[in-house]
Amino acid sequence: MPAVDPHTPTQTARHIESTERHSAHNYAPLPVVVSRASGAWVEDVDGHRYLDMLSAYSALNFGHGHPEIVDTFVEQAKRLSLTSRAFHNDQFAPFCETITRFCGMDRVLPMNTGAEAVETAIKTARKWGYKVKGVADGKAEIIVCDGNFHGRTVTIVSFSDDDQYRDGFGPFTPGFKLVPYGDLAAFEAAITPNTVGFLVEPIQGEGGIVVPPEGYLKGCRDLCTKHRVLFMADEIQTGLGRTGRKFACDHEGVKPDVLILGKALGGGMMPVSAVLASDEVMGVFRPGDHGSTFGGNPLACAVASKALEILERDRLPERAARFGERFMDKLRGLTGGYVREVRGRGLLIGIALTPEAGPAKAWCKQLLHEGMLCKDTVESVMRIAPPLVIEEMDLDWAFERIARTLRGKRP
């Protein structure tokens, strides 16, 4: 498929020109304008088809337009979309029962976006530290990891080590300590009596699909228990089947004290996020402490409940494990040349390129012209994360194009 010539008056070019003129330049998307989609395939405004190997950063685990989720969305939207939490609605209790059972937790606090959920988890840990653990007021500390990505609010970028996320946004929120990801000794050395939580991604997504050493999560869990620190797992990207288990923490048999979910929880239809914890931890909240006008709205609750039902019924985590293992085995055959390493779990995969390969974004643009959508991260890694409902024949189709591209001339 030929590249889009910016001087050709295609619909794609017109949309991109208008976007550049009227929107803030806080994103640098690939030059494709998607207009419709189904399953793992999308179509642009000029009629070109592409295989979606990004899944909206894992928000589309169920694929585009899953019929049952769409039906649930439409039927609920016709009946009742929003009440705020000033009143009860008939979808809230069933959702709370469904998600707490699914996650093996006592209570849930629903929000909308992943960043909101992380902020909620931070507030939860701090309040628990003051009200339950007995940390002196204003002294609570949360330990986080180098290379983390938990969102882009001011508080969250306060503990990022990415200069761009912080540039121009200070002053920053105190109360966080950074330690090297995967370094158990460094984590233990950072714990003090004021430590209330350890916030960690079981696999770092934006950090480059970084899988920690075997036993790291279990070791951190044991240290949290020993020192009475909340183990807070950000499973916004890794959760809900993406890595071949319900949650990435399940690979080491780790149960967090605080579980943070988002992205795929909304079934690819709308933003839905949640923080789950025990009675002791979630019990620190009283009416007025925290809230959200849209958090727990009936439309979100109905969609999320249906998404969780499909995830279990259709055994999507097992599908991700099976397809992901085969796909990564094939990708590892490309190691050498421009490919330094292939890593990941399930259908969350990173193709780490050599310095000689140049920027990963150039290769993603090359694949766009082959009819495949993926995205770079940390400049040198191509992120591969297709919908969990993708067919194996489509993965074979994608591999052929990845192999042909990466064995070809540097873009």
Question: Angle 360-368/392-406 helices, nearest 10 degrees?
Answer: 120
Please give the structure tokens belonging to residue 267: 């079934």
Which amino acid belongs to residue 78?
A: K
Query: Is 246 among the catalytic positions?
Result: no
- Which of these is catalytic: 73, 159, 176, 234? 234
Question: 61: closest CA among 393, 245, 260, 307?
Answer: 307
Q: Which residues contact 300 (CB under 8 A, 6 or more apart)?
A: 95, 110, 112, 266, 270, 271, 272, 294
Residue 393 burial class via C-beta count within 10 angstroms: exposed 0-12, middle 13-18, buried 19 and up: exposed
Q: Which residue has the tokens 């990415």?
A: 162
Query: Is 149 among the catalytic positions?
Result: yes
In this structure, the number of other CB atoms found within 10 A of the CB of residue 290 comes to 17
For the four alpha carbons of 63, 265, 95 and 36, in that order, the dihedral sign comes to: negative
**DSSP per residue, 184-227:** HHHHHHH--TTEEEEEE-SSBTTTTSBPPPTTHHHHHHHHHHHH
- Which of these is catalytic: 246, 263, 323, 394? 263
Query: Is 234 among the catalytic positions?
Result: yes
Round to whole Å and give the CA distance between 357 and 409.
10
347 in Cβ contact with 63 (< 8 Å): no
Q: Which residues contact 14 (CB under 8 A, 6 or more apart)?
A: none
Round to whole Å and give the CA distance between 319 and 325.
10
The CA distances from residue 137 to 50, 125, 175, in Å, are 53, 13, 12
DSSP state letter for 131 = I
Round to whole Å and give the CA distance between 386 and 375.
11
166 in Cβ contact with 148 (< 8 Å): no
Helices (DSSP H) in 35-134: which residue ranges?
A: 55-58, 67-79, 92-103, 114-128
- Which of these is catalytic: 149, 176, 294, 323? 149
Round to whole Å and give the CA distance between 8 and 84.
47
Please give the structure tokens belonging to residue 109: 């606090």
Which residues are part of the catalytic machinery?
149, 234, 263
